[in-house]
A and B are shown apart, each in its own frame.
Chain A
Amino acid sequence: MKLLKTLAITTALAALFASPAFAQTRIALVVKSLGNGFFDAANKGAQEAAAELGDVEVIYTGPTAATAEAQIEVINSLIAQQVDAIAISANDPDALVPALKKAMERGIKVISFDSGVAPEGRQVHLNPSETSLIGSTIIKLAADYLPDGGDVAILSASSTATNQNAWIEAAKAALPKDFPNINLVATVYGDDDSVKSTDEAKGLIASYPNLKAIIAPTTVGVVAAAQVVTDMGLIGKVNVTGLALPSEFKQFIDNGASQAVALWNPIDLGYSAVMIANDLVKGGEAKPGATLAIGRMGSITLDDTNSAAMAPPFTFDKSNIEEFSKIY
């Protein structure tokens, strides 16, 4: 009986999953980890691009744990599926290089977006914005509400996250000349984990009694920090700011735990990533100085490391959070 049941399940599964070969272009959108609102929004944009292009299928995938090892397993399965292009937001700029090189050797176009891969592991990198601009924006978000200056701290994602580290470096560079009375007292890492981010935020508040603002350049950390400030009754004393998804963060703008946050548009980012990947599949060449069309977003021009920036970040405050929280 057990054998019969096994056979029945096998047949059912085979029938369920057996899919015809696709004649169209298949582009995989590989994200740092699934279950992250930012990347779900990017997928929305990617699907929009696919619909606009017509002959493109987008495969939205990624690991559960935001580690390079797990992402390599995803890349290996995409190589086996012989997809046409991979657009990836990397958990590690270096560790993915051997796996992505293998993908390119087997004829797959590889671009990175959001969080980049070292140049030898991809053909194009799409930055959501300009690193230096983001760095000064996250400090400015705090400084705008601190006319007399004061202590601020940064709650980041993992200590190896490519983009967060670059922004923090840029923020530190902007501090002395543009924000002389802002004092950055600490940088801690919540690993994009709600529990760890909450603990780190509590630690900051306990260690620095004069803390005026927590800057979290990560959508997970900023929510955790705002929740801590709300729970501990510190609204009005500690301002939480950083990079946040409007839909996840609206309540903290409403209750005053945060004055303003910023983010670029992940929908546009996913859209542009698919457009660039499609350009490459259809014969576009990735070389310094080349210009690639990205549909409704216009076009990008590659710099000497084959990277390009999409757009400047966008500030959300009481005036517009309502509107954007409905979009993503």
Chain B
Amino acid sequence: MTDTPAPRHLPNRLDNPLRSTILSWESLLIIVAVVIFIINSFASPYFLNAYSLSDLTFNFTEKALIALAMALLIIAGEIDLSVAAIIALASTLMGFALQFGADTPMLVAIGVGTGIVCGAFNGFLVTGLKLPSIVVTIGTMSLFRGISFIILGDQSYKGYPASFAWFGQGYVYWVISFELVLFLVMAVLYYVLLHRTNFGRRVYAIGNNDIAAQFSGVRVARTKFILFCLTGVMSGIAAVLLTARLGSTRPSIAEGFELEAITMVVLGGVSILGGAGSILGVVLAALIVGLVTFGLGLLNVPGIVMTIFTGSLLIVVIALPILFRQWRNRRPA
């Protein structure tokens, strides 16, 4: 055991040998996004308008921010279903602090801080007590939102300062919202983290085989703990944005966001079984979800049809690679 083994290439996707980028999932998503964009432009005279396109981004930015961190967590073979409940608790605590005269920096600190604490709590239960993450986060989902309901009941907090509202309603330049800029910056950061650092490689290794990763010297528990904290932080940030956008807090805030964030992750090509996926895919999936919901909204298509559309898209996305693999395996005799 004196030789250092040569660094080996660990592929991002096991089922796709990356023969060419043309065949990759991300290319397919780009084509889908472009096609939907073109259909939208033809279908509604109101679509190609700077203000419309700007409003469109608000449909997905908060959920997409969570999806970035969720992607890493799912690649590592874990999941966090409590993200929307973390938003509710963070928003409630911000509103609570507001009653005691907290200013904008304080509110943001409380929102993001609550996210970190909740994420660390999830991380501790999963890695410290070795509990399955799906069970833990179903539990904390009720716990976090339950605390919000205890604090708020059927009341709501409002009266957030204008400087705070800017985070959810403000524009950095012309129609480019702060939310969109933050999302793009975060997307780049997560791209670097997952695809350009040792930490990112360890995430893939854990997702493919966490026991093998453990024996290869990867600190599995610590890495997973950090991933839960990251998901918590992103939920805290989303709580700041959403609370600022709504200008108010109620315990039912962000209901159903966890499933929409996970939809983006899975649509983005992240394997729900862990071990494969990319940040670019998740960003494109977020854009597609935003384009579809806004495009159908412009045509006043009932929300039920949108739900059916997103559901079908998801099933197709999960089924396609499996069918493709079966077809490829059957071909050579």
Contact = CB atoms under 8 A, between A and B. Distances in A.
Contact of A159 (B149, B253, B299): B149
B120 to A, nearest CB: 27
A190 interface: no
B67 interface: no
B58 A160 contact: no
A80 B46 contact: yes
Contacts of A81: 44, 46, 298, 300
Contact of A64 (B153, B254, B304): B304
26 contacts: A6-B35, A13-B42, A14-B39, A14-B42, A14-B43, A17-B299, A33-B303, A62-B302, A65-B303, A68-B250, A69-B255, A72-B245, A73-B293, A73-B297, A76-B55, A76-B297, A77-B55, A79-B51, A80-B52, A80-B298, A81-B44, A81-B300, A82-B46, A159-B149, A160-B156, A165-B154
Contacts of B35: 6, 10
Interface of A: 6, 10, 13-14, 16-19, 21, 33-35, 59, 61-65, 67-70, 72-74, 76-77, 79-82, 92-95, 97-98, 158-160, 165
A77 B254 CA distance: 19
A25 B246 CA distance: 29
B294 A77 contact: yes
B302 A10 contact: no
Given A67-B252, A98-B169, A159-B154, A61 B247 contact: no
B127 interface: no
What 9 pairs across the A-B complex have the smallest Cβ distances?
A77-B297, A14-B42, A64-B303, A94-B248, A80-B52, A95-B246, A17-B43, A159-B154, A76-B55
Nearest to B302: A34
Contact of A17 (B42, B58, B246): B42
A159 B146 CA distance: 13
Contacts of B242: 69
Interface of B: 35, 38-39, 42-47, 49, 51-52, 55-56, 58-59, 149, 153-154, 156, 158, 165, 168-169, 242, 245-248, 250-257, 293-294, 297-300, 302-304, 306-307
Contacts of A6: 35
Given A10-B35, A73-B59, A79-B55, A158 B303 contact: no
B22 to A, nearest CB: 13
A97 B43 contact: no
Nearest to B42: A14
Which residue of A18, A61, A97, A160 has the most chain B CB atoms within 10 A of its CB atom? Answer: A160
Given A73-B297, A76-B297, A159-B251, 17 more contacts: A14-B43, A17-B42, A17-B44, A18-B42, A34-B303, A62-B302, A65-B255, A67-B256, A69-B242, A73-B293, A74-B303, A76-B56, A79-B51, A80-B47, A80-B294, A97-B247, A160-B251
A17 B154 CA distance: 42
A13 B247 CA distance: 38
Contacts of A19: 45
Contacts of A35: 304
Contacts of A74: 297, 303
Given A13-B43, A160-B252, A80 B55 contact: yes
B154 A67 contact: no
A10 B56 CA distance: 21
Contacts of B158: 94
A21 B44 CA distance: 10
A303 to B, nearest CB: 22
A59 B300 contact: yes
B327 to A, nearest CB: 15
